[in-house]
Amino acid sequence: MRLKRVACAAFLASFGSALLIAQFHADTRLVVLHASVTDRKGKLLTNLDRDAFRVYENGQPQEVKIFRREDVPVSLGIIIDDSGSMSTKRSRVEAAALAMVRASNPQDEVFIVNFNDDAYLDVPFTNDMRKMEQGLARIDSRGGTAMRDAINMSLDYMKQEAKKDKKVLLVITDGNDNASNISLERVVQRS
């Protein structure tokens, strides 16, 4: 009887160690693609279905497994030229920026960068309309146009602080850059 118990214990011990070694592997991969489609006149098309899209990876067609039409929240940076040449346009720019944010998804997060000779983060990420209004109202248009520096700063801020998958930078300006330290090539490379 004792021999049977020892044999049974040895069998269970070896079987138990096999259970510890066994591993389960699963390979699931879902790639999320956000798409906005416009017609030739720039009008947004919102009634497309799954069959209107073809997705390829390394030249190989991929199946679209999940398809949704929805307003996806975004992390939005509004970069506004506050140089001297914008002084007569500033009130219209503020009104347009606020109208756009009001019409956006309420889950969007927005930051505001103003720039002239330098770039300033005036409103960190928020969806509080009052904070955005205050940030836009305290600006005094003057100086040159350091647009590339403002975009570069906004890219850094977006990469560090954005919480949404979809990211957008909107630049509002009336002229060419005449005050930046960073080159256009470097900004394009970083984006």
Give the model's pLDDT for residue 31.
83
- Share above pLDDT 90 across residues of the chain, in percent, rounded to a whole number: 63
Give the model's pLDDT for residue 135.
84
* Weakest-pLDDT range from 43-52, 57-66, 116-125, 137-146: 137-146
Give the model's pLDDT for residue 118.
95
Q: Is residue 105 a contact partner of residue 74, using CB atoms and an 8 Å limit?
A: yes
| Mean predicted confidence (pLDDT) in 44-65 | 91
**158 within a domain of the structure (yes/no):** yes
**15 within a domain of the structure (yes/no):** no
Domain count, the chain: 1
HEC secondary structure over the chain = CHHHHHHHHHHHHHHHHHHHHCCCCCCCCCCCCCCCEECCCCCEECCCCHHHCCEEECCEEECCCCCCCCCCCEEEEEEEECCHHHCCCHHHHHHHHHHHHHHCCCCCEEEEEEECCCEEEEEEEECCHHHHHHHHHCCCCCCCCCHHHHHHHHHHHHHHHCCCCEEEEEEECCCCCCCCCCCHHHHHHHC
**159 within a domain of the structure (yes/no):** yes
**93 within a domain of the structure (yes/no):** yes
**22 within a domain of the structure (yes/no):** no
Give the model's pLDDT for residue 8.
47
- Asked if residue 25 has pLDDT above 80, the reply is no
Tens digits of residue pLDDT in 73-92: 999 999 999 999 999 998 99
**149 within a domain of the structure (yes/no):** yes
Give the model's pLDDT for residue 6.
46
Give this prediction's pTM: 0.73
- In DSSP terms, 57 is beta-bridged to 60
Count CA atoms within 13 Å of residue 125 on its CB side. Answer: 18
Q: Is residue 171 a contact partner of residue 132, using CB atoms and an 8 Å limit?
A: no
Q: Is residue 151 a contact partner of residue 135, using CB atoms and an 8 Å limit?
A: no
Find the domain containing 96 and state its range: 74-190
pLDDT tier, 69 (very low <50, low <70, confident <90, very high otherwise):
confident
**137 within a domain of the structure (yes/no):** yes
CATH classification at residue 135: 3.40.50.410
Give the model's pLDDT for residue 27.
60
Closest C-alpha among 59, 68, 33, 70 to residue 166: 33
- Asked if residue 7 has pLDDT above 80, the reply is no
